[in-house]
Structure formats: structure tokens, C-alpha cells
């Protein structure tokens, strides 16, 4: 009888070695270790044995059962390890493959244009002065010679941040409608030194967005304060800038205008860079492009900045940044600048 046990052990272990997957393993378990399996069947024989053989047989059968159970567990683990190795091999990454190319980024067209403008003015001796986007009513309007209810305030539709201003208080907050309030800040900080600065920055207007106008855009303000500064200095500066930015053949002209913070006030025009003055779609057949508002700093504004207008004079100007870029690169819609369409942005 003990030989039968031995031969079953041998057979079962050989069969187990041939098992290669979970299904076969389960079939093996049922065949040998299941309730109606071969080991159970063997144990059932115990009753048919002579009494003296039973203990030895029982012991051997139990040991067989334990051996097969241990072998089963071992095989199960070995199969799991094999399965894992197979899965890892199948999903392996080839770390030597070349990566997906990512092109280097570049500066936004507005930033590029702004930097070019700043570089030109820097060569002409202007420093950059930055002033805040959130301003008081007093800085944006009042100290620029527009007290509450001054009709010229209507030239700038305003995003108000607090209500006080609409009630006539000068302490109300707003998003600056132009970079001009920086003139007051720089004068108050530098007085009584002479000044030659530009003030680049974002401006905000409560206006309909169209192909020609955005409600957020950049301006560059300029301010020179000194002794004996005249309108010719302003015109010379404007002409020099136009030539350095657009090309040496550019010409400028001036027209009388009105701004509350300058006296006299002028508009600076430049001959159209596309048609050179002959008249085209871009210059609306006039041959000229408007490039800046400007003028001699109003005595009241000089005074508000701390400078005595009897001793000091100055010129100021302000112009948009996106418009010159539009003219230079023939961009016909200002909304493209902040639409975040990479097909547009990548062209610059
Ligand atoms: N601040 C004006 C605007 O936003 C532009 C301007 C005009 C600025 C004349 C100046 C100036 O400094 O002198 O429309």
C-alpha cells in the first residue's frame, strides 16, 4: 500500500511540473487535492486495511497530502512570478528612443515690440519707470488737470474698482485708462531733479472690443522735465524715434490737438510706411498714420508734480504698443494679440 502512495507522489509531482498556467494549475489541484481527488480516494482506502497497517498508512497519506499542498503553493508562486516577468517584458519602454521634440518658446509679439521701443529710448537717454495698474481717481484724472466732473474725463471710459469716484471723491480706485498718471508719480519721486523717463505699461478702457480696439492694451508714456525744454525737443525726439523704429526715411508731422495735461497739445503723425504718403488702405488714403498724443507738460501738472513752472518746462507723449506692431507687421485685427492662437503668435 505504501508503494501506491509513493507512486502517486511521483505522478502528482511530475504532472505539477508540466503545469504552465493558472487554469491547468486549478485542474491539477482538483484532480489531486480536491474533495473527490486522488489523495482523498487513497485515504478512503484506510478502512479496508488490516488494523496494524492503518497508522503507518494514515501517516504516509497525510504526509503525501502536505507535500502536494506545499508543492502546489510553490508552483502557484512560480507561475505568478513568470506572469509578472512576461507582463513587464511586454510593456517595456525603450529608453533609447528619441523624445518628442518640443520647440523653444519665444517672447510674445507685444513683449518683443515693447523691448524694441524701450531699447531705442534707452539709447536716447530715457530711463524706464514703472507705475501701478490700479490707480486712484486723483492720479489718473485729478492731478492731470481733470478735477471731478471735468468734461475731458469722458475721453477715457473707465473700469472703476470702487464706487467712491463716481460720487465725485478723488480717492476712488480704478484701472488706469492711460499711463499718464505715472508722470505725477515720477515727478513727485524725482523732484527737483531733471527727468527723462518712459513709462511702459498696460492700460484699461471700458470699451467695446473691435478689430481696432481692445479693452486692455499697452502704452508707452514719455516725460522729459528740465530747464529750457521746448516743443522742438519733443518733435525731434518723436522724429528720431520714428526713424529708429520704422526706418531712416520716416518723416513726422504735427497737428494741434487737445489734452488737459498738456499745453500746447499735439498729435504726432508719421508718413505711412506702406505707401510712403501716396495713400492706401492702412492710412485710409491720407498718407499719414497717427502715432502719438503729446505736448508740453501743462503748468498745473508740473506744479502737481512739485516743479515750479516758471523755472521748469517739459514735454510728454503717449502712444499704444500694439498699433505700431500692427502697422509694422500688417496685422489687421488687434484681437489676435491676446487671443492666444499659436498659429498667430508663432509667426513673430
Ligand atoms: N494719455 C493719452 C491717452 O491715453 C495720451 C497722451 C497724450 C499722453 C498727450 C501724453 C500726452 O503724455 O502729452 O490718450
Q: Residue 202: which CATH number?
A: 3.30.930.10
Q: Tell me the residue range of the domain where 274 lies.
A: 110-345
Number of H helices, E strands in the chain: 11, 9
- The pLDDT of residue 165 is above 70: no
Measured in Å, residue 180 CA sits from the centre of ligand 1 at: 6
Question: Given a cut of 70, is residue 103 above it in pLDDT?
Answer: yes
Residue with grid cell 485542474, as numbered in its chain: 27
pLDDT digits 0-9 by tens, 7-45: 999 999 999 999 999 999 999 999 999 999 999 998 888
Per-residue model confidence as pLDDT tens digits over 296-321: 999 999 999 999 999 999 999 999 99
Nearest CA-CA partner of 132 in 83, 76, 176: 176
Nearest protein Cα to ligand 1, atom 3: 178
Task: Tell whether ligand 1 has an atom less than 6 A from the beta carbon of residue 323.
Answer: no
User: Structural domain tally of the chain?
Assistant: 2
Q: Does 228 share its domain with 335?
A: yes
Q: How high does pLDDT run on average in the chain?
A: 92
Separation between Cα atoms, residue 172 and residue 166, nearest integer Å: 8
Q: Is residue 100 part of a domain?
A: no
Q: Is residue 242 domain-shared with residue 315, that is, in the same domain?
A: yes
Give residue 64's pLDDT band: very low, low, confident or very high (50, 70, 90): very high
pLDDT tier, 168 (very low <50, low <70, confident <90, very high otherwise) = low
Residue 96 inside a domain? The answer is no
From 180, 221, 267, mutation site for ligand 1 pocket: most ligand atoms within 8 A of C-beta: 180
Beta bridge partners of 128: 198
Residue range 115-131, pLDDT digits in tens? 999 999 999 999 999 99
Q: Are 226 and 342 in contact (CB under 8 A)?
A: no
Which atom of ligand 1 is the closest one to the Cα of 183?
Answer: 12
For position 229, what pLDDT does the model report? Answer: 98
Lowest model confidence (mean pLDDT) among 21-35, 132-146, 167-181, 277-291: 167-181
Q: Is the CB of 316 under 6 A from ligand 1?
A: yes
| 267 and 149 in a common domain | yes
Which residues sit opposite 255 in a β-bridge? Answer: 267
In a domain, residue 101? The reply is no
**Ligand 1 center–CA 217 separation, angstroms:** 14
Kindly state if the Cβ of 180 falls inside 6 Å of ligand 1: yes
C-alpha of residue 301 to centroid of ligand 1, in Å: 13
Mean pLDDT, range 272-288, rounded to an integer: 88
In a domain, 203, yes or no: yes
Output phi, psi for 95, to 5 deg. Answer: -75, -5
- Pocket lining: 131 vs ligand 1, CB cutoff 6 Å: no
Please tell me whether residues 152 and 79 are part of one structural domain: no
Lowest mean pLDDT among 69-78, 106-115, 248-257, 278-287: 278-287
| Residue 219 covered by a domain | yes
> Among residues 23, 57, 90, which one ends one of the domains?
90
Q: Could you tell me if residue 98 is inside a domain?
A: no
Say if residue 1's pLDDT is above 60.
Answer: yes
Q: What is the pTM of this model?
A: 0.72
Residues 82 and 122 in one domain: no
Residue 105 lies in a domain: no
Nearest residue (by CA) to ligand 1, atom 12, is 317
Shared domain for 72 and 150, answered yes or no, is no
Q: What is the pLDDT of residue 169?
A: 59
59 Cα to the center of ligand 1, angstroms = 107
| Residue 86 and residue 148 in one domain | no
> What is the phi-psi region of residue 168: left when phi exceeds 0, alpha when psi lies from -120 to 50, beta otherwise?
left
Q: Tell me what percent of the residues of the chain surpass a pLDDT of 70.
A: 98
Spatial separation of the C-alpha atoms in residues 68 and 45, rounded to whole Å: 19
DSSP state of 82: H
Domain end marker among 62, 90, 118: 90
Tell me, yes or no, whether 99 lies in a domain. Answer: no
Do 116 and 23 have their domain in common? Answer: no
288 shares its domain with 256: yes
pLDDT in tens, 197-248: 999 999 999 999 998 889 999 999 999 999 999 999 999 999 999 999 999 9
**Residue 238 and residue 282 share a domain:** yes
Report the pLDDT averaged over residues 90-103: 88
Q: 313 and 231: one domain?
A: yes
pLDDT at residue number 277: 86
For the record, the C-alpha cell of 154 comes out as: 469722458
CA 293 / ligand 1 centre spacing (Å): 5
Measure the CA dihedral 64/70/72/74, to 10°.
-150
CA of 224 to the centre of ligand 1 (A): 14
**Dist CA 235 CA 143 (whole Å):** 25
Domain final residue pick, 90, 118, 137: 90
Task: Answer yes or no: do 205 and 302 share one domain.
Answer: yes
**Cα of 177 to ligand 1 centre, how many Å?**
10
Ligand 1 atom 10, closest CA: 317
Rounded to an integer, the average pLDDT of 255-260 is 97
Amino acid at each position: 500500500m505504501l508503494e501506491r502512495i509513493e507512486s502517486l507522489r511521483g505522478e502528482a509531482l511530475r504532472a505539477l511540473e508540466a503545469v504552465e498556467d493558472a487554469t491547468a494549475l486549478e485542474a491539477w489541484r482538483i484532480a489531486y487535492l480536491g474533495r473527490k481527488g486522488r489523495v482523498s480516494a487513497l485515504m478512503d482506502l484506510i478502512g479496508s486495511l488490516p488494523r496494524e497497517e492503518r497508522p503507518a498508512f494514515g501517516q504516509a497519506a497525510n504526509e503525501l497530502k502536505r507535500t502536494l499542498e506545499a508543492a502546489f503553493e510553490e508552483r502557484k508562486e512560480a507561475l505568478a512570478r513568470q506572469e509578472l516577468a512576461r507582463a513587464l517584458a511586454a510593456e517595456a519602454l525603450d529608453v533609447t528612443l528619441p523624445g518628442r521634440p518640443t520647440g523653444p518658446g519665444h517672447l510674445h509679439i507685444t513683449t518683443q515690440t515693447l523691448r524694441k521701443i524701450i531699447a531705442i529710448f534707452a539709447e536716447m537717454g530715457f530711463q524706464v519707470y514703472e507705475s501701478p495698474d490700479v490707480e486712484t481717481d486723483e492720479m489718473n484724472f485729478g492731478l492731470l488737470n481733470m478735477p471731478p466732473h471735468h468734461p475731458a474725463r469722458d475721453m477715457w471710459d473707465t473700469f472703476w474698482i470702487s464706487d467712491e469716484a463716481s460720487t465725485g471723491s478723488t480717492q476712488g480706485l480704478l484701472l488706469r485708462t492711460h499711463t499718464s498718471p505715472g508722470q505725477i508719480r515720477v515727478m513727485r519721486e524725482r523732484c527737483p531733479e531733471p527727468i527723462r523717463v518712459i513709462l511702459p505699461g498696460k492700460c484699461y478702457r471700458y470699451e467695446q472690443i473691435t478689430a481696432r480696439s481692445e479693452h486692455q492694451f499697452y502704452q508707452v508714456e514719455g516725460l522729459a522735465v528740465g530747464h529750457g525744454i521746448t516743443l522742438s525737443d519733443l518733435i525731434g525726439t518723436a522724429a528720431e524715434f520714428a526713424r529708429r523704429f520704422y526706418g531712416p526715411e520716416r518723416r513726422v508731422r504735427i497737428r494741434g490737438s487737445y489734452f488737459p495735461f498738456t499745453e500746447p497739445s499735439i498729435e504726432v503723425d508719421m508718413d505711412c510706411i506702406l505707401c510712403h504718403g501716396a495713400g492706401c488702405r492702412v492710412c485710409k488714403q491720407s498718407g499719414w498714420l497717427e502715432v502719438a498724443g503729446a505736448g508740453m507738460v501743462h503748468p498745473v501738472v508740473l506744479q502737481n508734480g512739485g516743479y515750479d513752472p516758471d523755472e521748469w518746462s517739459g514735454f510728454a507723449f503717449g502712444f499704444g504698443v500694439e498699433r505700431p506692431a500692427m502697422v509694422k507687421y500688417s496685422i489687421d485685427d488687434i484681437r489676435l494679440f491676446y487671443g492666444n492662437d499659436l498659429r498667430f503668435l508663432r509667426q513673430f
